[in-house]
Amino acid sequence: MTISILLKTTISILASLILAPILLGIINRVKAGFAGRVGQPLLQPYYDIFKLLKKGLFYSTTTSWIFRWGTLVSLAVIVCALLIVPCGPFPALISFKGDIFLLVYLMGVVRFITVISALDTGSSFEGMGSSREMFFSALAEPALLLALMGLAKVTDSFSLTSIANTLSATNWFNNGASLALLMGTLFIVLLSENARIPIDDPNTHLELTMIHEVMVLDHSGPDFAVINYISALKLWIFSAIIAPVLFPIHTNNIIADFSVWLSGMVLISIAVGIVESSMARLRLTVIPQFLLGATALAITAIVLTWIG
């Protein structure tokens, strides 16, 4: 590996690690703007994480070592996932043919660890949240896989880095409809995996309506800080998959490319904020339809690439 590539990959990892919570801040600011408020400062998620890191740690007596290790292990796994995801023009540290599937499975591992940590507390409340979470993820996973396969078909490459590098304006010209549909599917999966409206409300604390929030109720202090950081990283990863599709611009200037890519990420966060402010949460029984619709969109996109 040459020094420049090593430098680029380091920048990519550092950028992801440092910049991830900003997306959460942007979403909150957009929601506040829609509600007519000024809202939290953009860097509020950082302040929250630091504040939580200083607090004390409490463990429930019903939990076991799973609960204690869960957060750190999922942090480690998600940083591994981060190693595959490119940051715009900066390539990912690890990229090989088929790493899109590895990404999906790493996300699955994170979800699994969160769920067993929640179940470990022995509370029926968390159990309910876990079952809902697993159900909706089971429906969202085919959509994610199909969408990634659609991207792979359009660009003829099976690695996230090479997909990001291969996508260009000509792809939009040739397969515009497919790419639009794939973006739609990926956006819906983003909303689902990150517990955003219309699938889950991140602000609610009512028993009837929680899905994701309920699983992390028992974490305290530094654990909770890590949980928040992980959710920020998850949002970053999913946005990073969509951003190259949105702005597939490759100039030779690395700074320009990176800023375009960053603006894409910001745009996606703004879109999430708009969706959160304008829709209400769907009824629980309607969510499977919604996710199946996303799968149908992905299949339509793939099928459309056969023709023309």
Partner 1 sequence: MKVQLLLILVLLTNLKLLGSSRLGSSIRTVAIQGSLLGLLPLFIELDSLNWRVMTLAIGTVFLKGFVFANLLFRAINVANVNREVQPFAGYVSSLLYGIVALIVSFWLGQILNLGQLSYSPLIIPVSFFGIFSGLFLIVSRRRAISQVLGFLVLENGVFTFGAGIIKMTSLLVEIGILLDVFVAILVMGITVFRISQECDHIDTDKLITLKD
Number of helices (H), then strands (E), belonging to the chain: the values are 10, 0
Q: Which is nearer to partner 1, 82 or 287 (CB)?
A: 287
Cβ atoms of residues 261 and 195 within 8 Å: no
**Contact between 147 and partner 1 (CB under 8 A)?**
no
**Contact between 304 and partner 1 (CB under 8 A)?**
yes
Q: Is 95 exposed, middle or buried (0-12, 13-18, 19+ CB in 10 A)?
A: buried
Pick from 121, 90, 115: nearest CA to 10? 90
Near partner 1 in 267-286, by CB under 8 A: 286
- Token pair in block for residue 255: 């700074």
Q: Is 281 exposed, middle or buried (0-12, 13-18, 19+ CB in 10 A)?
A: middle
Q: Which is nearer to partner 1, 59 or 172 (CB)?
A: 172
Pick from 57, 107, 19: nearest CA to 225? 57
**Contact between 131 and partner 1 (CB under 8 A)?**
no
**Contact between 306 and partner 1 (CB under 8 A)?**
yes
Cis bond before residue 198 (omega within 30° of 0): yes
**Rounded distance between C-alpha atoms, residue 210 and residue 133, angstroms:** 10
CB of 290 to partner 1, least distance (A): 9
CB of 148 to partner 1, least distance (A): 18
Q: Which is nearer to partner 1, 226 or 275 (CB)?
A: 275
Near partner 1 in 284-303, by CB under 8 A: 286, 288-289, 292-293, 295-297, 299-300, 303
Q: Which is nearer to partner 1, 215 or 298 (CB)?
A: 298
Q: Which is nearer to partner 1, 272 or 304 (CB)?
A: 304
* Binding characters for partner 1, 166-195, by CB under 8 A (x = yes): ----------xx------------------
**Rounded distance between C-alpha atoms, residue 249 and residue 272, angstroms:** 22
Q: Which is nearer to partner 1, 188 or 304 (CB)?
A: 304
Interface residues with partner 1 (CB under 8 A)?
Answer: 176-177, 286, 288-289, 292-293, 295-297, 299-300, 303-304, 306-308
